[in-house]
Amino acid sequence: MVKIVTDSTSDLPTEIASQLDISVVPVILQIDGTTLVDGISITRQQFYANMNSYRDIPKTASPSLDEFVRVYRSKLTHAEDEVVAIHVNRKFSGLCNMADVAAREVNASGQKVTVVDSETVTMGLGWLAITAARMAREGATASAIIERVKDLRKHARIYALIDTLKYLRKGGRANAVVAGIGDMLKIKVLICVRDGNVEQLDRVRTRARGISRLIEAAHTHQHTSHLSVLSTTTGAENDIANLRLQLSDLVPYDQQYTMQVAPVIGTHVGPMALGLAMAVDV
């Protein structure tokens, strides 16, 4: 039987991972000299609640080789079992490369692990893992699942409204002068992740306009099979509810997911960011 593994950048809800027997390898966080495990020794609510008080910008690290090997082998309980491991875009993180090394080690012992680069992140990745797990339950082969995931990843879109450039600057992802001017002018940046790349869509002066642009971007995809509303903070409930309502013509309100994104993302985009993860018909 095919078993599915992903990582915590997928933002996969715990109950769904459990229902579909998806194992999630947690990312490592380093906060002011303390090493923590995403979702185990620190919750996302704790991470974001304290974000403004951290002395230094938190750092993230790939899980260890041993952890990947342990998780992969834990899924291979029968001789006929195979693992399809779907991980975060390798352009964003070294995690996928570590997963490759672990897969080679496991495969050298005669077992079978195949690593697939999702070319996306957050619930774009989560959606791929869910689809793969459902196929596995229906008896699909590993090769059929891998082929389907590689096709579907072209349909994943992540749109995000970054409320402040401060954290991009701290993380070395924005020029200090540009970020400083942007913060003075209260500029918000809209980005899109597609085909494994990050693109800037727009810059706006107000949060309200930024939210409107998110809604406009989503409505360029009239055929949408999955929609998640993402955030990096508490206190944005009204904005989240507004987004869900405005997008209920694409995916019904009660079929949308909402979640705080993984700290590995939040540490770069900062608090008060909003986003959408979509599966679109392109």
Residue 264 has a pLDDT of 86
Strands (E), 108-196: 113-117, 156-162, 188-194
Structural domains of the chain, with CATH: 2-154 (3.40.50.10170), 155-280 (3.30.1180.10)
Please, which residues bridge with residue 115 across strands?
85
Residue of 159, 163, 160 whose CA lies nearest to 187: 163
Proportion of the chain in helix, strand, coil states, percent, rounded to 5:
40, 25, 30
Residue 183 has a pLDDT of 45
H/E element holding 209?
helix 207-218
Residue 282 has a pLDDT of 59
Residue 86 has a pLDDT of 98
Q: What are phi and psi of 221, to 5 degrees?
A: -120, 90
CA distance 280 to 282: 6
Query: Could you count the other beta carbons within 10 Å of the beta carbon of residue 246?
Result: 16
The identity of residue 61, as a single letter, is A
CA distance 15 to 43: 15
Q: Are strands 156-162 and 113-117 parallel, antiparallel or unpaired?
A: unpaired
CA distance 228 to 206: 23
Give every residue of the chain whose pLDDT is below 70, as ranges: 166-186, 282
Question: Burial, 45: exposed, middle or buried (Cβ in 10 Å; 0-12, 13-18, 19+)?
Answer: exposed
CA torsion, points 225, 221, 229, 25, in degrees to nearest 10?
Answer: 60
